[in-house]
Amino acid sequence: MNTDNKVWFITGSNSGFGRCLTEAVLAKGDKVVATTRHPEAIEDLVKQYPDTVKAVNLDITKIDEISQAIDTALSTFGQIDVLVNNAGFATMGAVEEIADEQIRYQFEVNCFGTLNVIKAMLSYFRQRKSGHILNVSSAAGLTAFPGMGIYSASKFAIEGYSEALAQEIAPLGIKLTLVEPGGFRTNGPSSMTTPDCQIDDYEETVHKLIKMMSDSSNLPGDPDKAAQAMIKVVESDNPPLRLVLGEDALEIVRQKIESLEKELKEWSEVTLSTSFENDQTSSVG
């Protein structure tokens, strides 16, 4: 296990997983560049850890701010060892209900914002031939539910480019892990957005589910324990590509695998019927 003190660059560090992880990393003696659009929300941590945390204003949709934040991190602590892409939010509603501008902004933050930070950081990690990227996805990035289609799509996108990127950067000494939590007691539900107009036909399905999810007090996951799990992954010499967090998330993923296997088996004859027939031509001398 690699337990050397590290410098972490964490986006969305003012709340939720980002706040819990920032606190846990500082408590263990590592340093944190805590980026957020609301740096005033972490002033207490700056006062408590004046030598090991640097609060930086950052909107991950603004490329110039990302470059400035990385420069500030390097000038403050001299290095960056871990990038945690945590910043994001959820748009909840039936696919038909969500306005185009809401869909685009969901992708602008979750998908493209995360990608902006990764691309800006990679040149530095490549020069060092080291680094670890944690992309906070979701169990909803592996399977989708009614009312979560657009949010899931943005997380599915992160899953896709992360899986490819992990293979591209592994030979360069850089690691990548997708973090896939289930339901945790964070402020996520309070920050989710919903459509301006709702369609009555979805009242008994989508709308009921959204109301149920809007209260995180009964969710099973402890975000402080999630933070410790992420630290453990970073300290591992052989970290996983995917870190599923929570009993509910594990069950969701297992159900997805079982469903895929069942459909593959039931439809394998049709699947295999689409190839060209073997070419039976022969030459005549």
Q: Is 137 a catalytic residue?
A: yes
Catalytically annotated residue among 13, 54, 151, 154: 151
**Any catalytic annotation for residue 268?**
no
Closest to 163 in 3D by CA, of 135, 143, 124: 135
Q: Is 75 part of the annotated catalytic residue set?
A: no
From the candidates 155, 162, 175, 202, give the one annotated as an active-site residue.
155
Which of these is catalytic: 6, 31, 49, 137?
137
Please, are residues 54 and 72 in contact by the beta-carbon 8 Å criterion?
Answer: yes
Indicate which residues carry an active-site annotation.
137, 151, 155
